[in-house]
Amino acid sequence: MRVTLFGASGLLGQDLVKALTGEQMTGVELTALSSKDADLRHGARVREVISNSRPDWVILSAAYTDVDGCESNRDLAFAVNCEGAVNVAEAAREAGSRLLFLSTDYVFDGCKLSPYETSDARNPASVYGESKALAEVRLLEILPEVCIARTSWLFGDGGKCFPATILKLASARPEISVVNDQRGSPTFTRDLASALVRLCSVSARGIVHVTNSGNCTWYDFAGEIVRASGLATTVKPVTSGEFPRPARRPAYSVLSPDSLHAYNIHMQEWTDALHSYLAGAPSSVVR
C-alpha cells in the first residue's frame, strides 16, 4: 500500500509516520510531507506530489489548528483548512487515490447533551469549526468515497498538548484553575494513528468518529494528570466565563463511537490512554 501523508511533522503526523512504518506494517510505501515540503494552498505543488507518489491512500492531517488564531485570521483558516483540503481532494481524484481527511468535534455547536452521531447536523460556533465543516461538505462533493475522521482533544508526544501544559504548570504552582463546563473525549495521538491506519486498511468511507472511549471535562482531565503524576498541586474548577477566549468552545462535544465500532475498531479509555502517554507505554487499540 502506498500512502502520502500531509502534516507529517505535526503532533498526530509524527505518530502516523511511526504507525505506517512500524514492524507490523510491511509493504507500506510512505511519502511523508510537512508544510515545508508542500503548502496545501499551492494546488500545483499538491498535484505534483500526489502525481509523483501515486498513492493508494492520501492522509490529510495537516491543518491550521490554532483555534483562537483562526478567529483573527479567517482568510488563512479557510485557505488552509478548506481550500487546501479541496486542492488535496482534487489531486487525489485525478490520481485515482483514496482520501482520509482529519476533521474535528468543532463542527458541532456543543448544545447537545448526548454523544454526537455522524448524521447530526453541522453547526460550528467558531471560525476553525466553520472552515472544517465547509471542507467536509466540499470533499464529499469531490470524492463521495472520502473517509472523514472526526476526532477531539488531541494529546501526544512531540509537541504542545494539554497534559504537557498541565504538568508544566503543576510543577511550578500550588494551585491551577481549569474550566469544568466543557466536556469531550481526550484522544491519544498514538491510539488515533493506529485507528486511522486500520480505517485505511479496511477501505473505510464516509464520516467516522474516532476518539478514545469515555469523556470528561478539562477539569477532570487535569485532575487525572496531576493525580497520576503524583503531584501535590490543587486543581480548582472554574467556568469558561472566567477564562474568556476569542473562539467559542463547544460545551459538549462527545462523539458517538458507533461509526468506529462498525469497522470493529475500539479505542481504549481516555484514562488508560493518558497513563500510556505518561508512562510511554505502547498503544492498545483493538484491531
State the CATH number of the domain containing residue 107: 3.40.50.720
Residue 236 located in a structural domain? no
Q: How far apart are CA 126 and CA 47, in angstroms?
A: 30
Residue 204 located in a structural domain? yes
Bridging pattern class, strands 2-6 and 57-60 = parallel
Other CB atoms within 10 A of residue 137 CB: 11
Residue 97 located in a structural domain? yes
Nearby residues of 119 by Cβ (< 8 Å), 6 or more positions away: none
Residue 242 located in a structural domain? no
What's the sign of the alpha-carbon dihedral 142, 80, 124, 260? positive
pTM over 0.85: yes
Q: How far apart are CA 247 and CA 229, in angstroms?
A: 30
Residue 168 located in a structural domain? no
List active site positions: 128
Q: What percent of the chain has pLDDT over 90?
A: 93
Per-10-residue mean pLDDT, the chain, length 287: 96 96 80 95 97 97 97 98 98 98 98 97 98 98 98 94 95 96 98 97 97 98 96 96 94 98 97 94 44
Q: How far apart are CA 211 and CA 255, in angstroms?
A: 7
Residue 208 located in a structural domain? yes
Q: How far apart are CA 251 and CA 284, in angstroms?
A: 29
Q: How far apart are CA 150 and CA 81, in angstroms?
A: 14
Given this model, what pLDDT does residue 158 score? 82
Q: By the 8 A CB rule, do 228 and 274 touch? A: yes
**What's the total number of domains in the chain?**
1
Q: By the 8 A CB rule, do 200 and 22 touch? A: no
Given this model, what pLDDT does residue 286 score? 40
Q: How far apart are CA 65 and CA 163, in angstroms?
A: 17
Q: How far apart are CA 247 and CA 159, in angstroms?
A: 22
Residue 263 located in a structural domain? yes
Residue 179 located in a structural domain? no
Domain of residue 196: give its range.
2-159+186-213+253-271
